[in-house]
Amino acid sequence: SWVGGSRAGVDEINLLEIARALGIPAARLHYAGLPGGGEVGEALASGRYDAGISGYSEFEELVKQGRLRVVAVATEDDAAEIGVTSFEKLGVTIEHFNWRGVFAPPDISDQQRQALLSVIERMAMSKSWQQLLIKHHWQDAYLAGEAFVEFIRREQQQIEAALDSMKKADPAGRTIINSVLARRYIWAAVLAVLSMLLIFIILFQRSRAHHREEGLQHAFEKATGEAIQRSEELERALAGISAQIERDFDSWNLTAAEREIALLLLKGLRLKEIADIRGTSERTARQQAQAVYKKAGLEGRSELAAFFIEDFMQSLQSNMQDTKTDLGSGPTH
């Protein structure tokens, strides 16, 4: 039995090509696929399989430990370096290799594409990359731009042809190959559905946030309007009470000095403070205050304040009532 990378992957395809070249029926291979080269090496070293196929770098440590033995490698260059025979020498050509590529989204700009090509080219030509190629026994198959695109097209065609050949050569494995391919399509469909679901969730959350924002905006505008309305009501009330104070002062026949004293009393100033402001004695301020109380028919400061507070409240209520009437009025049909 054989072990290698995933079913219908490059390892199984190459193994079938080797078997075909050597006249070995595919049905005799009994191939098992594992996710990666590390797992393949350990499974092979544990004795669970008779032979395996993978990249040499995946088996190198096990070979050095004496747990695995290399039978043959793909090319003569590798064979000379490792010290074993090659499939080329046996007359078997390996056409498929486990290559790696760098890909980018299709909608990048030409400038971004050129920048990426430049970076990859510098890496591929660097001394450190060349050292890695030697260390891991990798072949330098660097291609860039349209050359790489053309390689992908040819590789796709060859892989499809190889898979079709595998189905014909091994009817029993056809179901497995179809299952592997179908599983990939299923995963692609699942990912597409999950992507659509994620997009729907994002759009739904954005919609909710938008409605919430509109609600907050409406509440803010309403609160602002009410605050402006209350401010206007207060201004009208203050204007009304100011006019009312002047009318009351007129009806009490207060002198200019007494008017000033009365206003300072309403502001809550003490007699000494009033005297200091007006540049008089506290006694004079007290006499003038008494004159105000007498002309108004009030007993003192508290009754003076209460008198105008009552006027203020009546003016405020009147203004609020006027505002409600204005808001509620309109043409009738």
Residue 25 Cα to chain centre, angstroms: 54
What local confidence, expressed as pLDDT, does residue 170 receive? 54
CB-based burial label for 329 (10 Å; 0-12, 13-18, 19+): exposed
The answer to whether the CB of 45 falls within 8 A of the CB of 125 is no
Residue tagged 């009330």 (tokens): 237
The answer to whether the CB of 132 falls within 8 A of the CB of 138 is yes
d(CA 60, CA 324): 92
Instruction: Look up residue 296 and give its amino acid.
Output: A
- Residuewise pLDDT in 10s, the chain (333 residues): 788 877 777 777 778 878 887 888 877 777 888 877 778 888 888 888 888 888 777 888 888 888 888 888 877 667 677 778 877 777 777 776 777 788 888 888 888 888 888 888 888 889 888 888 888 777 788 888 888 888 888 877 877 776 676 666 555 555 555 555 566 567 667 777 787 788 878 888 888 888 888 878 878 778 877 777 776 666 665 666 777 788 888 888 888 888 888 888 888 888 888 888 888 898 998 998 899 889 888 888 888 888 877 766 665 566 555 555 544 444 443
Instruction: Look up residue 150 and give its amino acid.
Output: E
Q: How many CA atoms lie within 13 A of 84 on its CB side?
A: 13
Order the strands of the 51-52 sheet from edge to edge. Answer: 31-33, 2-4, 51-52
The answer to whether the CB of 56 falls within 8 A of the CB of 133 is no
CB-based burial label for 45 (10 Å; 0-12, 13-18, 19+): middle
Domain ranges of the chain: 2-169, 225-327
The answer to whether the CB of 113 falls within 8 A of the CB of 148 is no
Read off φ and ψ for residue 21, nearest 5 degrees.
-65, -30
In eight-state DSSP terms, residue 28 is: G
What local confidence, expressed as pLDDT, does residue 329 receive? 43
The 3-state DSSP class for residue 302 equals helix
d(CA 254, CA 298): 14
Residue 162 Cα to chain centre, angstroms: 42
What local confidence, expressed as pLDDT, does residue 319 receive? 57
Residues 6+ apart with CB under 8 A from 303: 293
What token pair was written down for 245? Answer: 């104070």
Residue tagged 């399989």 (tokens): 49
What local confidence, expressed as pLDDT, does residue 328 receive? 46
d(CA 331, CA 323): 17
- CATH architecture for residues 225-327: Orthogonal Bundle (1.10)
For the full predicted model, state whether its pTM sits above 0.85.
Answer: no
- For CA atoms 68, 74, 78, 83, give the dihedral sign: positive
What local confidence, expressed as pLDDT, does residue 102 receive? 83
280 closest CA partner among 296, 266, 304, 264: 264
d(CA 151, CA 136): 23
The answer to whether the CB of 68 falls within 8 A of the CB of 44 is yes
**H/E segment holding residue 209:** helix 171-251
